[in-house]
């Protein structure tokens, strides 16, 4: 069976579940760039991001039978990618995030920094952050998770999540200030 690029997500998933290699290639082609972007945000370097990408797609293909078509397939793929990145980073570090200082209280917006950034520049700045800060920043600021959800995902307290977000923002402001001068 020839697979066209305009096949619906539901049909694509069904064909992948039947073992159709062309459908599997098409699924990878459709979503690999968005998944790789996620992996780059959570990774400190391109090699780790490539590993995360491969692991994520293994999990996507293994988990297709559990996708119920009740929400966005792309959203499901992104969620698998984020969870894969979190698991990968835990394996690399193998220690919990342990900062429990509540530095976030009373923090307002600081000085305005005007720098024109493209997506590639942002990823490079995020990659300069320590792993824990980068992960919390991604989960909160980009993925939209609450501190409660992040603390559950990371096995830490909400206070730790808030502290790491605060520190990530401060570091990013410093990086941006360097670029602005």
Taking each helix axis from N to C terminus, what angle separates 21-42 and 73-93, rounded to the nearest 10 degrees? 50
pLDDT at 178: 86
CB 145 within 8 A of CB 139: yes
pLDDT at 2: 53
Report residue 103's pLDDT band, with 50, 70 and 90 as the boundaries. very low
Residue 94 has pLDDT above 90, yes or no: no
pLDDT at 176: 87
Of 1.10.1740.10, 3.90.1640.10, 3.40.50.150, 1.10.357.10, the CATH number of 9-93 is 1.10.1740.10
pLDDT at 5: 61
Residue 175 has pLDDT above 70, yes or no: yes
In whole angstroms, what is the distance from residue 168 CA to residue 133 CA?
5
Q: SS in 3 state form for the chain?
A: CCCCCCCCHHHHHHHHHCCCHHHHHHHHHHHHHHHHHHHHHHCCCHHHHHHHHHHHHHHHHHHHHHCCCCCCHHHHHHHHHHHHHHHHHHHHHCCCCCCCCCCCCCCCCCCCCCCCCCHHHHHHHHHHCCHHHHHHHHHHHHCCCCHHHHHHHHCCCHHHHHHHHHHHHHHHHHHHHHHHC
CB 157 within 8 A of CB 100: yes
Residue 115 has pLDDT above 60, yes or no: no
Residue 74 has pLDDT above 90, yes or no: yes
CATH 1.10.1740.10 positions along the chain are 9-93
More confident residue, 140 or 117: 140
What is the CATH topology of the domain spanning 119-180? Arc Repressor Mutant, subunit A (1.10.10)
Only one residue has tokens 């950034």, namely 117
pLDDT at 92: 75
Report residue 124's pLDDT band, with 50, 70 and 90 as the boundaries. confident
CB 36 within 8 A of CB 53: yes
CATH 1.10.10.10 positions along the chain are 119-180
């Amino acid at each position: 069976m020839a697979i066209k690029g305009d096949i619906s997500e539901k049909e694509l998933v069904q064909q992948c579940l039947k073992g159709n290699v062309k459908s599997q290639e098409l699924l990878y082609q459709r979503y690999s760039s968005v998944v790789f972007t996620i992996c780059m945000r959570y990774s400190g370097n391109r090699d780790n991001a490539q590993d995360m990408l491969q692991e994520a797609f293994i999990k996507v293909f293994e988990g297709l039978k559990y996708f119920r078509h009740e929400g966005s397939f792309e959203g499901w793929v992104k969620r698998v990618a984020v969870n894969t990145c979190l698991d990968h980073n835990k394996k690399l570090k193998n220690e919990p995030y342990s900062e429990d200082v509540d530095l976030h209280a009373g923090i307002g917006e600081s000085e305005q920094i005007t720098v024109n950034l493209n997506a590639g520049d942002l990823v490079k700045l995020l990659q300069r952050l320590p792993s824990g800060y980068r992960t919390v920043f991604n989960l909160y600021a980009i993925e939209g998770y609450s501190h409660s959800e992040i603390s559950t995902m990371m096995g830490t307290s909400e206070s730790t999540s808030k502290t790491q977000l605060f520190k990530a923002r401060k570091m990013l402001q410093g990086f941006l200030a360097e670029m602005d001068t």
